[in-house]
Structure 1
Amino acid sequence: MGSGQGISGFKVGILDNDELTLMVLSHCLETSLPATVWCATLGSKAIAMCRDDATRPDILLADMSLNDMSGDSCIAEIRESGVRIPILAITSFPLHVYAALAAEAGAQGIVPKRSLAVIRSAVTTLLSGGIWASSIEDVEFHTADNALAHKMNPLTGDDKRRALSSREVEVITLFARGYTTEQISTELDVSMNTVKTYTNRIFDKLGAHTRSQAVALWLAEQ
């Protein structure tokens, strides 16, 4: 699989720790776009290739479950390097498990690995500058430009406090009532990973390190 320009000018990077998945996806995209494809099994390798002008793809498909790092950490590192390319998260798990993590890291959508037709459609949409809208409640993806701007110019101080989303307010309200992560997951009908993502966002926005500190800071703002 080459790393040069294809007939359509598209260069696609695929990051996945499963060789069979890489083979199937690369064949699908090379024959349907058409495009040239490079593959990586390690997040560190994909990060290096996305940072390098010579190997940077026009779009990256990134598995959310890797051997050397988490998929969201890989996506976030690429964004924090100032790389503007669209990134499509892929997963074999139910989408709600990783959707919030992918959006927060800077991806433009998340799709199931098993649906090649959906992957093709999502790739085409992202290459056109769009996003692959999430069907998961309170998970919102942004364009590559906006995702990059968010990573390079994060909110600070009072702006962060005012930026708590409606779902984050629900989570911190349940914190204040003494709910555990598992109880919040059940109450809001979301995965525990999603609750942890909201928790990390709340901590970051409020400048807190513990739940009790976050609740105290939040209540002080009311």
Structure 2
Amino acid sequence: MSEAQASGAQQRSPRRVVIVDDHGIFRSGLKAELGDCVEVIGEAATVDEAAEVIRKTKPEVVLLDVHLPGGTGGGGAEVVKLCRDLLEEVRFLAISVSDDATDVVSVIRSGARGYVTKTISTEELVSAIDAVAAGDAVFSPRLAGFVLDAFGTSGLAEEVRDEELDRLSAREVEVMRLIARGYTYREIASELFLSIKTVETHVSKVLRKLQLSSRHELTRWAEQRRIV
């Protein structure tokens, strides 16, 4: 680790981390590599164990393998979904041997903040943990393209839409995105050539369909799915 990184680590308390991987040797090796840079407060090897440990310890960051036994077979993505109500305080960083686009899109769509492969260096992983804990998104370079394709305007966008997003009409999705970007009702009305009253109606419908109660929750919902 560089002197600058070491100095930064000394200036703050180590990030509280839970490691979720079904290989004990990997968990042990990762703990040894990270050393004092993080505080490992829990471990899990299955979907069910992970959900239990995360709820009990409420770490800042969960280092999450994508392929895990248990649960209903959803692996790492299922763990994130089971803890979706904690995403405001617990961040998920997928770390896997897989660089398959399907795995990347699945776990990010579930609410994970980043995805790196197990070839990542220790220094890079420590930086990724810090970034994710701070609310940033982190991806190994070649994986970022998958995410941009899937959650941008390309053809993959249709494939990754989840059931909640499918409840919205095309116009409601437009309004939702602008709300999440911080637009006022008046600005949205001007942007989409609608009346303010119509915008208010669309927002009400979106909140009802997604079972959300406020503009803040809607913004967080959109950010978690990278559709802002």
Answer whether TM exceeds 0.5 for this pair.
yes
Q: What pairs up with 1:26-45 in 2 under 5 angstroms?
A: 26-31=31-36, 33-45=37-49
Aligned partner of residue 199 in structure 1, secondary structure: helix
**Matches of 1:82 and 1:203, distance apart in 2:** 19
Output the amino acid matched with 1:126: V
> Is 1:205 matched up with 2:209?
no
**Preserved CA contact (<8 Å) 2:116 2:139:** no
Q: Which residue in 1 is equivalent to 2:216?
A: none
Aligned partner of residue 90 in structure 1, secondary structure: strand
**Matches of 2:39 and 2:86, distance apart in 1:** 25
Q: Which residue in 2 is equivalent to 1:136?
A: 144
Q: Which residue in 2 is equivalent to 1:190?
A: none
**Matches of 1:61 and 1:29, distance apart in 2:** 12
User: Among 38, 44, 51, which residue is 1:47 paired with?
Assistant: 51
CA gap 1:85/1:99 in 2 versus in 1, 3 angstroms: same
Structure with the larger helix share = 2
Q: Percent identity?
A: 20
**Preserved CA contact (<8 Å) 2:80 2:111:** yes
Note the aligned Cα RMSD (angstroms): 2.9
**Preserved CA contact (<8 Å) 1:30 1:37:** no
**Matches of 1:131 and 1:35, distance apart in 2:** 21
TM-score (normalizing by structure 1)? 0.58
Aligned partner of residue 64 in structure 2, secondary structure: strand
CA gap 1:131/1:41 in 2 versus in 1, 3 angstroms: same
How far does residue 105 in structure 1 lie from its aligned partner after superposition?
0.6
Unaligned runs of 5+ in 1: 1-6, 141-163, 172-194, 209-216
The number of equivalent residue pairs is 151
Output the amino acid matched with 1:121: S
> Is 1:122 matched up with 2:82?
no
**Preserved CA contact (<8 Å) 2:94 2:112:** yes
